[in-house]
Amino acid sequence: MKGKVKFLSLLFAFVLVSTLTFSSEVLSSGASDCHNSAIAVNKNGIVLVVFCQGGGPEDGALWYNVFKDDQWQGAKNTQLTVLTGWSPQLDVDADGLFHLAWADGHSRYAREIYYATYDQDSGWSSREMIWDSPENSAWERIVIDGDKVHIIWFHEHVGLYVSDIIMITKTIGGNWPSAYERISWHPYDESIHAAFDIKNNRLHVTYMEGVGTQGGTWRLRYKEGELGQNWEATSPITLETPAWYPDLEVDQSIDSHIIWGTRSGNLLYQHQVNDTWQSINSISNMYCPLQHPDLHFANGVLCAVWLQETQLGKHIYYSVKTPPGTFSTPTMVEETREGDYPQVWIDNFGYAHFVYDERGGGRHIKYEKIQVYDPPALLAVDKDTMSFTLEGDNPPSQSFNVKNEGSDSLTYTITKNEDWLSLSRSQGTLQADEEHEVTVSIDAEEKDEGIYTDTILIESPEAVNSPEKVDVTLTVLAPPIYEPLNFSGKILVNKALFYREYIHKLTWQANPDNRDIVVYRLFRNDGVNRILIATLSATTFEYVIRGILDSTVTYNYELAAVDKRDREGPAAKLDLSGTGSMRKISTDYEGSRLRLSLFFALRILQIKMEN
């Protein structure tokens, strides 16, 4: 059993379609010992298969193959295995991130449960050991519910053949807690091979419980209730005795569906209708060997896959139902030489994806895809992310397309949160195979530099995969700073009887392309040092430099604009030298000249009187 991407709790009237089967493919590498696979499909149609390679009958190094860009990428080592991997299990969240759990270790005293994620773009995360147990840990299952990761497993707590079922939960991206929940506990019996699902904050779990030491007779146990309750105090019910290797799914009405194997040659099934258990019946129509069957529910469709045996070997069969209806007649996925460990995942596009071992001349992982339903309405958005960069002016607009890939019409709404982002449309109606373009524009010229994010949400009450989203990232860079315009200067002369000073009058204009300028810095560059002469307000466009006595020296001036972030832009440059011209330059200049003439006249008179 695998957890599901959350979907709208509506009961859709799906019509099962005529079987459309694609050719089977071998997904494993050239190695002849590949087995025990797991499969999941995300909202984008990316298919991930993880399997064991080498090792023993049920363990080995963890390998994977992924279907994206319209092709399988080839089998690769995950590089996650510590010692040897067991029973990989997959689920996927609403953002399309895959979550993997597995047991790892050669023996019961060295086997622990591990976890990692797979991103279709960046690959595998680092592995995390979720619990360090002194006893055996194995046969884990994983369910993603919203932003929570739940892992459940068999855990020996006293010694060999005495075990319970425990569960641990964390937020996606968070840390594992320091304590687990004990879902079942028995002082001398073994609880093993749990399967579970979580919907609407309710846990549904089934497991095998051995009656007597070493599980002489297995009974099928079941518990259900709100998350967080005292599960040890919650008494289980017994559904059947004997029973082996159950799997469980919960449908859109929050009713449980369970399948399990027997030694009598049947694959048995029991389910709830409005929380009431219905009678047990067989969904197989041939002899079924003892096995691990699989069950998956998505978008109103329940699919079971299992082994049925003929004189030619063990073959993979499947059956489909739309709860509360009945299962269809079993259909062969493929005639195999010796099939085992079948797994199934129903996607949002109408297909069931099957993966299984094929044995005979080695063990290989095979995959097949079969259409099992027509989605009545299906949102398809051609982009998951959009990135904009603003440096001064607003960036160009971009667009994405919303399409209905289902068979019925749908209505949709598009929402966002931030004022700096605008959309060309906020709602619409799409007929089957119709598409709308949505333009995304940015108005953020007043934003400070930094990174801003928003999420565009596309929702449709009719679409089975609603909502879809587009994550938008806006990077605001500090705007460029340009040099001031028309930086120029004049040389004026202030001449007295015995004194002459040269005056440099500098002027400039603001550059209209600049933003957030707060001051100008004026420098003199003597070829060795760049000396700050003055810091001037952003509204000052003239500066006078006095006291220059040597007209033969060339003065190199630089003027730079500085913004509110204290960033200094490129400097405008000006060279001034020469004597300039005699002219009346200002009242202040004339007064200074008169004072200098008077000073020298009085000094001459004083010298004469002293003599």
pLDDT digits (tens, 9 = 90+) for 370-423: 999 988 898 999 998 999 999 888 999 999 999 998 889 999 999 999 999 999
Return contacts of 599-606, CB within 8 angstroms, 24+ apart: 600/496, 600/497, 600/498, 600/499, 601/497
Q: Is 513 inside any structural domain?
A: yes
pLDDT in tens, 481-506: 999 999 999 999 888 656 788 899 99
**Residue 492 sits in the same domain as residue 431:** no
List residues bridging with 223 in a β-sheet. 205
Reply yes or no on whether the pLDDT at 453 is more than 90: yes
- Radius of gyration, CA atoms only, the chain: 39
Span 567-575, mean pLDDT?
94
> How many residues would you count in the chain?
611
- % of the chain exceeding 70 in pLDDT: 89
**Residue 493 sits in the same domain as residue 591:** yes
The angle formed by the CA atoms of residues 425, 427 and 430, to the nearest 5 degrees, is: 110
**Residue 420 sits in the same domain as residue 449:** yes
pLDDT band at 573 (very low <50, low <70, confident <90, very high): very high
pLDDT band at 15 (very low <50, low <70, confident <90, very high): very low
Q: Is 106 inside any structural domain?
A: no
Least confident interval from 18-27, 218-227, 283-292, 464-473 = 18-27
Which pLDDT value is given to residue 1?
41
Q: Write down the residue that tokens 């019910």 correspond to.
A: 237
Q: Are 490 and 543 in contact (CB under 8 A)?
A: no
Q: Is 23 inside any structural domain?
A: no
pLDDT in tens, 213-269: 555 689 999 999 999 999 989 999 999 999 999 999 999 999 999 999 998 899 999
DSSP code of 265?
S
Reply yes or no on whether the pLDDT at 9 is more than 80: no
Span 432-456, mean pLDDT?
94
**Residue 473 sits in the same domain as residue 503:** no
pLDDT band at 2 (very low <50, low <70, confident <90, very high): very low
Query: What three-state secondary structure class fits 602?
Result: helix
- % of the chain exceeding 90 in pLDDT: 68
> CA-CA distance, 587 to 577, in Å (whole number)?
24
Torsion sign over Cα 136, 139, 143, 147: positive
Which pLDDT value is given to residue 18?
45
Q: How far is CA 46 from CA 4, 64, 218, 348, in A?
A: 15, 13, 38, 11
Reply yes or no on whether the pLDDT at 16 is more than 60: no
pLDDT band at 603 (very low <50, low <70, confident <90, very high): low
Query: What three-state secondary structure class fits 589?
Result: helix
Highest mean pLDDT of the ranges 57-61, 374-378, 570-574: 570-574
Beta strands 385-391 and 468-477, pairing class: parallel
Reply yes or no on whether the pLDDT at 549 is more than 90: no
Beta strands 123-124 and 112-119, pairing class: antiparallel
Q: Which residues of 184-197 are buried (b: 16+ CB within 10 A; e: fewer)?
A: bebeebbbbbbbbb
Domain CATH number, residue 532: 2.60.40.10
Reply yes or no on whether the pLDDT at 592 is more than 60: no
Which pLDDT value is given to residue 355?
97
Determine the structural domain holding residue 441 and report its residue range.
Answer: 379-477
Beta strands 331-334 and 313-321, pairing class: antiparallel
Q: How far is CA 540 from CA 323, 350, 568, in A?
A: 79, 70, 17
> CA-CA distance, 449 to 446, in Å (whole number)?
9
Query: What three-state secondary structure class fits 599?
Result: helix
Return contacts of 424-429, CB within 8 angstroms, 24+ apart: 424/399, 428/402
Strand order in the sheet with 202-211: 191-199, 202-211, 217-226, 237-240
Q: Is 451 inside any structural domain?
A: yes
Q: Write down the residue that tokens 């559904």 correspond to.
A: 239
Examine the fold and report which residue of 477, 507, 534 is the final residue of a domain before the chain moves on. 477
> CA-CA distance, 392 to 350, in Å (whole number)?
47
List CB contacts of 473: < 8 A, sequence separation 6 or more: 385, 386, 387, 388, 451, 452, 453
Reply yes or no on whether the pLDDT at 588 is more than 50: no
**Residue 430 sits in the same domain as residue 515:** no
Number of domains making up the chain: 2
Q: Are 381 and 458 in contact (CB under 8 A)?
A: yes
Which pLDDT value is given to residue 159?
67
**Residue 555 sits in the same domain as residue 500:** yes
Q: Are 355 and 366 in contact (CB under 8 A)?
A: yes
Examine the fold and report which residue of 458, 477, 496 is the final residue of a domain before the chain moves on. 477
Which residue would you say has higher pLDDT here, 15 or 212? Answer: 212
pLDDT in tens, 154-184: 998 766 778 899 999 999 999 999 999 999 9
**Residue 519 sits in the same domain as residue 569:** yes
> CA-CA distance, 462 to 118, in Å (whole number)?
30
Label each residue of 173-211 as H, E or C: CCCCCCCCEECCCCCCCCEEEEEEEEECCEEEEEEEEEE
Examine the fold and report which residue of 427, 444, 477 is the final residue of a domain before the chain moves on. 477
pLDDT band at 337 (very low <50, low <70, confident <90, very high): confident
**Residue 445 sits in the same domain as residue 496:** no
What token pair was written down for 490? 């004049």
**Residue 586 sits in the same domain as residue 493:** yes
**Residue 531 sits in the same domain as residue 462:** no
Reply yes or no on whether the pLDDT at 429 is more than 80: yes
pLDDT in tens, 97-118: 999 999 999 887 889 999 999 9
pLDDT band at 591 (very low <50, low <70, confident <90, very high): very low
Which pLDDT value is given to residue 217?
83
What token pair was written down for 338? 């010796």
Q: Is 566 inside any structural domain?
A: yes
Q: Is 441 inside any structural domain?
A: yes
List CB contacts of 278: < 8 A, sequence separation 6 or more: 270, 271, 272
**Residue 404 sits in the same domain as residue 433:** yes
Q: What is the mean pLDDT of the chain?
A: 88
Q: Is 596 inside any structural domain?
A: yes
Phi, psi dihedral angles at 35 (to 5 degrees) = -165, 175
Which pLDDT value is given to residue 386?
97
Reply yes or no on whether the pLDDT at 608 is more than 70: no
Count CB neighbours of 49 within 10 A: 26
pLDDT in tens, 124-144: 999 999 988 878 899 999 999
**Residue 565 sits in the same domain as residue 492:** yes
Which residue would you say has higher pLDDT here, 292 or 609? Answer: 292
Q: Is 325 inside any structural domain?
A: no
